[in-house]
C-alpha cells in the first residue's frame, strides 16, 4: 500500500492483516518502487496524488519491470481521465475515498482472484509448452533411433532421455535374456556400488512389480518404495523416495524395462508419465531392431557350430588389429591350430562326435583367452587365434597351455572317452614378418611343421626374409 496519508495506511493495515494478508505500507512512491524491485508482491494499492512521484507514474514504472503485481488505484481526487489511464496501465480496480471496509475487502479479493487466474493461465502456458517440447523430443528421438543399429547406443540414448523426462538421478535398463530367464542389467546411472557388485537377479516370480509391468504394459509409479513389498529388498536398500518402472513392450510381450528413481522427489506431472510410456514404446522398437541387426551381423560373422568367429568375421577383425599394431608399434601374434586325427574320429565315432570335439575346443578358447583376443574357426577342424599386444614368446606359451588343456580333456561321447589333441603353429609381428597375409601363412606353415613332427605339439615359425622391412605405413 502506497499513500502519503499515514492514517489511511494504518487503516488499510488494520483492515487487511486480520484476513491473513501480509501488508507493507509506504508513504512515498519511490520507497514502494524500491520494495517492488527487491521482492515479489501480489497486489499494489496506490494513491494517485502524492508528492514526488505520483501513483500513475509508479504504475508505469512497475509495468516496465515486467508482469508485476495486480494494481488497485485508491484516491479521493482522481478524475475520469485518471481512471481510464490507470485501467490502460493494467489496473484491475479503482477505489474512491472514502470507502467502507466491506468495499475495500471486496476490491482486494477481486484483484487477488485476477492474480490467481493470471498465475494459473501462466502455469497452463508453461505446461502446454513443456508438453509440446516433450512430445517434440519424442518425435526427434524416434527419428534418431530408427537409424541406430548398435544395442549399446540405443540403450545409452534411451536411458538418458528417460532420466531427463522423469527428473530422476538414478536409472537403469534391463533386457530379457531367455537363456537365463531373467532381466539382465544393460545400463545404469546412479545405482550404489553395492547394488552393482551383488548383481541382483530380476525374474517374473508373481506379485513383484515386474509382474505388474508384464500385465499392465503401463508405467508404474511407486511412492515410498522402501515400504512397498512389491519392490525387491536390494532396491529398497537404495533408499529411493520415488520409483518409476517403464515397460519396454515389443510385439505384445515385455522385453525389458527402465527403472527410474530419485532420492529428492519433486511433483511429477501426469503428462510426464505419458511421455515415459511413449518413450518406452519407441525404445522397445529400437532395441528389438538393434538386437535383430546384431543377430544378423553375428550370423554373418560367426560360426553356428562353435559360436566363434567364422573366417570372414575373423579376417575383418584381424585386419583392424593388424592396422592398430602397425600404427602404435605393438606386437601381434597369430596361432594356427588343427585337431589331430579329426577325420579318423569322424569315421570311427561319427560326425556328431566330431562336432562335440569342435565345440569343446571352442569352449576352452573362450574360457582361457583374454577378452580382447580373437578366436575363430578358420575352416573344417582348423582354428586361428589372433593375440593383440602379444609377442611371439608369449603366444608360444598360450599355444602350449591350450595344447595341454585339450590333451587333458578327452571327448565324452556315447559313454566313451575319445582322446583329443591339437597341433599349433605360432608366428609373430614384427619378429617374423611385417606383412598381414604373410603372418597367417607363416603360422600355417609352422602348424604343418608340428604335424610333420608327430602332432600334439607347438612349433614356432621361421622368420621371413623380409621380416626387418619397413612394413605398411
Tell me the CATH number at 103. Answer: 3.40.50.2300
pLDDT at 471 over 50: no
Q: Judge if 280 and 320 occupy the same domain.
A: no
Q: Does residue 138 belong to any structural domain of this protein?
A: no
pLDDT at 262 over 90: yes
Q: Judge if 75 and 49 occupy the same domain.
A: yes
pLDDT band, very low/low/confident/very high, at 472 (cuts 50, 70, 90): very low
| Average pLDDT over all residues of the chain | 86
Q: Which of 252, 267, 299 is the last residue of a domain?
A: 299
Q: What are phi and psi of 93, to 5 degrees?
A: -155, 155
Q: Judge if 329 and 436 occupy the same domain.
A: yes
Q: What are phi and psi of 371, to 5 degrees?
A: -65, -30
Q: Which of 240, 269, 299 is the last residue of a domain?
A: 299
**Is the whole-model pTM more than 0.75?**
no
Q: Judge if 288 and 318 occupy the same domain.
A: no
pLDDT at 93 over 60: yes
Rg (CA), the chain: 39
Confidence at residue 120, expressed as pLDDT on a 0 to 100 scale: 76
Output helix, strand, coil percentages for the chain, rounded to the nearest 5.
50, 20, 30
Q: Judge if 284 and 349 occupy the same domain.
A: no
Q: pLDDT > 70: what percent of the chain?
A: 93
- Per DSSP (E only), the strands in 168-274 are 170-177, 182-189, 220-223, 242-250, 253-262
More confident residue, 370 or 104: 370
Q: Judge if 171 and 223 occupy the same domain.
A: yes
Cα 415 to Cα 158: distance, rounded to the nearest angstrom:
51
The gap between the terminal CA atoms of the chain, to the nearest Å, is: 83
The C-alpha cell at 217 is 504394459
Q: Judge if 453 and 399 occupy the same domain.
A: yes
* Residue 244 · residue 260 · CB < 8 Å: yes
Work out the number of other CB atoms within 10 angstroms of the CB of residue 394.
15
Min mean pLDDT across 153-167, 176-190, 191-205, 420-434 is at 191-205
Q: Which of 299, 333, 350 is the last residue of a domain?
A: 299
Residue 201's domain spans which residues?
A: 146-299
Q: What are phi and psi of 176, to 5 degrees?
A: -70, 130
Average pLDDT over residues 447-458: 96
Cα 82 to Cα 89: distance, rounded to the nearest angstrom:
11
Q: Judge if 30 and 157 occupy the same domain.
A: no
Q: Does residue 339 belong to any structural domain of this protein?
A: yes
Cα 362 to Cα 351: distance, rounded to the nearest angstrom:
17
Q: Judge if 417 and 330 occupy the same domain.
A: yes
Please report, to the nearest 10 degrees, the dihedral formed by the alpha carbons of residues 385, 389, 393, 394 taken in order: -70
Q: Does residue 473 belong to any structural domain of this protein?
A: no
The CATH number given to whatever domain includes residue 415 is 3.30.70.270
Cα 438 to Cα 432: distance, rounded to the nearest angstrom:
9
Question: In this predicted model, what pLDDT tens digit does every residue of 35-69 receive, in sequence order?
Answer: 888 888 888 888 877 788 877 888 888 877 877 78
Query: What H or E segment, with its residue span, contains residue 440?
Result: helix 436-452
Three-state DSSP at 164 gives: helix
Q: Does residue 454 belong to any structural domain of this protein?
A: yes
Q: Does residue 208 belong to any structural domain of this protein?
A: yes
Q: Does residue 472 belong to any structural domain of this protein?
A: no
Range of 27-41, 212-226, 445-459 with top mean pLDDT: 445-459
Confidence at residue 470, expressed as pLDDT on a 0 to 100 scale: 38
Q: Which of 198, 201, 166, 173 is nearest to 187 (CA)?
A: 173
Confidence at residue 257, expressed as pLDDT on a 0 to 100 scale: 94
> Cα 344 to chain center, whole Å?
53
Q: Does residue 134 belong to any structural domain of this protein?
A: no
Average pLDDT over residues 199-210: 76
Polymer length of the chain = 473
* Residue 189 · residue 283 · CB < 8 Å: no
pLDDT at 397 over 50: yes
pLDDT band, very low/low/confident/very high, at 207 (cuts 50, 70, 90): low
Confidence at residue 467, expressed as pLDDT on a 0 to 100 scale: 54
The CATH number given to whatever domain includes residue 279 is 3.30.450.40
Q: Judge if 202 and 241 occupy the same domain.
A: yes
Confidence at residue 20, expressed as pLDDT on a 0 to 100 scale: 80
Range of 72-76, 163-167, 321-325 with top mean pLDDT: 321-325
Cα 5 to Cα 400: distance, rounded to the nearest angstrom:
104
Residue with cell 546412479: 190
Q: Judge if 351 and 253 occupy the same domain.
A: no
pLDDT at 392 over 70: yes
pLDDT band, very low/low/confident/very high, at 28 (cuts 50, 70, 90): confident
Q: Which of 186, 229, 188 is nearest to 205 (CA)?
A: 229
Q: pLDDT > 90: what percent of the chain?
A: 40
The C-alpha cell at 27 is 508513504
Residue with cell 511429477: 268
* Residue 163 · residue 191 · CB < 8 Å: no
Confidence at residue 465, expressed as pLDDT on a 0 to 100 scale: 67
Q: What are phi and psi of 350, to 5 degrees?
A: 100, 160
Residue with cell 609377442: 391
Work out the number of other CB atoms within 10 angstroms of the CB of residue 40.
9
Q: Which of 411, 254, 389, 414 is nearest to 329 (CA)?
A: 389
Residue with cell 587333458: 408
More confident residue, 52 or 76: 52
Q: Judge if 323 and 285 occupy the same domain.
A: no
DSSP string, 101-132: HHHHHHHHHHHHHHHHHHHHHHHHHHHHHHHH
Residue with cell 472514502: 98
* Residue 119 · residue 90 · CB < 8 Å: no
- Per DSSP (E only), the strands in 190-268 are 220-223, 242-250, 253-262
Q: Does residue 137 belong to any structural domain of this protein?
A: no
How many separate domains does the chain show? 3
Question: In this predicted model, what pLDDT tens digit does every residue of 409-447 receive, in sequence order?
Answer: 999 998 999 999 999 999 999 999 999 999 999 999 999
Amino acid at each position: 500500500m502506497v499513500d502519503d496519508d499515514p492514517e489511511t495506511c494504518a487503516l488499510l493495515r488494520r483492515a487487511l492483516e486480520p484476513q491473513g494478508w501480509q501488508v507493507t505500507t509506504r508513504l512515498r512512491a519511490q520507497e514502494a518502487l524500491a520494495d517492488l524491485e527487491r521482492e515479489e508482491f501480489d497486489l499494489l494499492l496506490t494513491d494517485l496524488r502524492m508528492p514526488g512521484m505520483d501513483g500513475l507514474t509508479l504504475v508505469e514504472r512497475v509495468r516496465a519491470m515486467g508482469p508485476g503485481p495486480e494494481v488497485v488505484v485508491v484516491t479521493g481526487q482522481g478524475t475520469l481521465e485518471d481512471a481510464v489511464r490507470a485501467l490502460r496501465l493494467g489496473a484491475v480496480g479503482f477505489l474512491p475515498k472514502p470507502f467502507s471496509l466491506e468495499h475495500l475487502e471486496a476490491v482486494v479479493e477481486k484483484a487477488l482472484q485476477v492474480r490467481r487466474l493470471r498465475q494459473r493461465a501462466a502455469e497452463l502456458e508453461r505446461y502446454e509448452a513443456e508438453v509440446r517440447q516433450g512430445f517434440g523430443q519424442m518425435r526427434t528421438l524416434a527419428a534418431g533411433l530408427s537409424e541406430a543399429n548398435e544395442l549399446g547406443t540405443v540403450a545409452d540414448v534411451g536411458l538418458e532421455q528417460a532420466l531427463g523426462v522423469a527428473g530422476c538421478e538414478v536409472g537403469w535398463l534391463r533386457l530379457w535374456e531367455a537363456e537365463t530367464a531373467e532381466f539382465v542389467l544393460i545400463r545404469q546411472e546412479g545405482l550404489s556400488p553395492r547394488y552393482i557388485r551383488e548383481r541382483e537377479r530380476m525374474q517374473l516370480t508373481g506379485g513383484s512389480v515386474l509382474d505388474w509391468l508384464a500385465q499392465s504394459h503401463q508405467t508404474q509409479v511407486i511412492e515410498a518404495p522402501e515400504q512397498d513389498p512389491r519392490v525387491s529388498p536390494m532396491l529398497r536398500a537404495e533408499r529411493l523416495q520415488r520409483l518409476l518402472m517403464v515397460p519396454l513392450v515389443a510385439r505384445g510381450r515385455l522385453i525389458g524395462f527402465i527403472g527410474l528413481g530419485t532420492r529428492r522427489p519433486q511433483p511429477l506431472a501426469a503428462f510426464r508419465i505419458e511421455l515415459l510410456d511413449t518413450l518406452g514404446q519407441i525404445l522397445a522398437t529400437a532395441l528389438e531392431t538393434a538386437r535383430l541387426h546384431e543377430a544378423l551381423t553375428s550370423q554373418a560373422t560367426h560360426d553356428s557350430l562353435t559360436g566363434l568367429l567364422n573366417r570372414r568375421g575373423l579376417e575383418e577383425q584381424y585386419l583392424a588389429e593388424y592396422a592398430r599394431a602397425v600404427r602404435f608399434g605393438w606386437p601381434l601374434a597369430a596361432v594356427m591350430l588343427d585337431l589331430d586325427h579329426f577325420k579318423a574320429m569322424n569315421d570311427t565315432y561319427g560326425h556328431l562326435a566330431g562336432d562335440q570335439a569342435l565345440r569343446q575346443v571352442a569352449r576352452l578358447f573362450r574360457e582361457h583367452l583374454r577378452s580382447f583376443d580373437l578366436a575363430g574357426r578358420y575352416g573344417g577342424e582348423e582354428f586361428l587365434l589372433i593375440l593383440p599386444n602379444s609377442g611371439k614368446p608369449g603366444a608360444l606359451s598360450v599355444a602350449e597351455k591350450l595344447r595341454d588343456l585339450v590333451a587333458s580333456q578327452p571327448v565324452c561321447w556315447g559313454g566313451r572317452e575319445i582322446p583329443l589333441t591339437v597341433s599349433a603353429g605360432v608366428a609373430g609381428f614384427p619378429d617374423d614378418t611385417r606383412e598381414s597375409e604373410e603372418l597367417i601363412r607363416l603360422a600355417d606353415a609352422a602348424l604343418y611343421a608340428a604335424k610333420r613332427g608327430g602332432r600334439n605339439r607347438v612349433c614356432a615359425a621361421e622368420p621371413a626374409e623380409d621380416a626387418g622391412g619397413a612394413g605398411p605405413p
